[in-house]
Chains A and B, each alone.
Chain A
Amino acid sequence: MNEKEIAEALKKKFGDKIIKCEIPMRRRVFVEVRREDYKEVVRFLLKDLDLKFVEAITALDGKDHFEVIAHVGYSVSVSVKAKIPREDPSIDSLYDIAPGVDLYEREAHDLVGIVFKGHPNLKRFILPENWPEGVYPLRKDYEAKHPEPLR
């Protein structure tokens, strides 16, 4: 399937649930959905359109909201984006449809503080054990400092 057929199939299946669908270049599709539909869209891409792999999960701080992007792809890479309000940074976990996303979701949880609902083991993965709770280094309000030389 090429990128145009995938975009068509998504529009046909989900209609106006797709907020935005762009094809910036060959073999790339960027889709934006609401966070309630995020898991269903990824499941449709993985199982029905046979894209097979979730390659990565990106979480980012968009200042007034958070964004979670699942990069699904085999030969075409489809990025499914969902915006999340800052007050309630949670989204459905993909763990039960794709157990390979385990570490990606834990990484996003650690560094941006997204809560993946339904993930069985959402414990600390990247940050050190003595890192303070509730401080998320990839958020924009976290200012990275130049490390002080050890003495």
Chain B
Amino acid sequence: MTQLTHLDRLEAESIHILREVAASMQNPVMMYSIGKDSSVLLHLARKAFYPGPIPFPLLHVDTTWKFREMIAFRDALKDDPDIDLLVHINQEGVEQGVGPFTHGSAVHTDIMKTQALKQALTEHKFDAAIGGARRDEEKSRAKERIFSFRSAQHRWDPKNQRPELWSLYNTRIKPGESVRVFPISNWTELDIWQYIYQENIEIVPLYFAAERPVVERDGIMVMVDDDRLPLEPGETPQMKKVRFRTLGCYPLTGAVESEASSITEIIEEMLRTTTSEREGRAIDKDAPASMEMKKQEGYF
């Protein structure tokens, strides 16, 4: 008899969740961040509705500061007839010239990501936004439901979450309210990489080590992806063999020196490393509960 592996069970659970969203929500959307978790989520969505097309659009909230290779990877999806890709940019933020260097990472993330996301959800009247967050990423995420309720103001109330029993998800909301849905909640980082390996899923090349121009700031290696990065006096970009463990806005994402140029080498490197995945992200460092606060305000 067929024996299911750990990954088979995680995959089946995620597909069940994706089908529940499609069947019970009026106007769902899948958040597409271009990262490896998004690649896995997209693959799961294709599987869930095969041989039919994915019955909801993808939405990328573009902060205008993503790596160029990420944008190229994203734009390649536009040729896929089964995928309806939407891109949203906070135009007010662009007009005000908001960016991580001029306004700092906190303001930039709030305006170009959190506010932009809320704008897009409100504008398209999406009642469900599917995201690739995992419970092993961060402590407040470990306590979030798979179907996570949001008020009409897109706020999360961690102390008043709907109990989630068995695999029954309460999908009922009032007009204006919405849910964020996290189909890969129970996956770990290692599960994601193993699945990418097993299913041969395409990911952005930035995850693989290559010679890239970087400068080192506050102990974080920042890639000089375009000429918007203001170089400090005496600072010159160095070519180093680096890769990225997570992807976001390039000035806020730290590179790690690496020789890993294949999925198996990445996994091998990951197993040997002693720091957690989010360490390269500036966003979590401010205060112990910073992710929880951002989530309450509507950040994914």
| Binding partners A and B | no
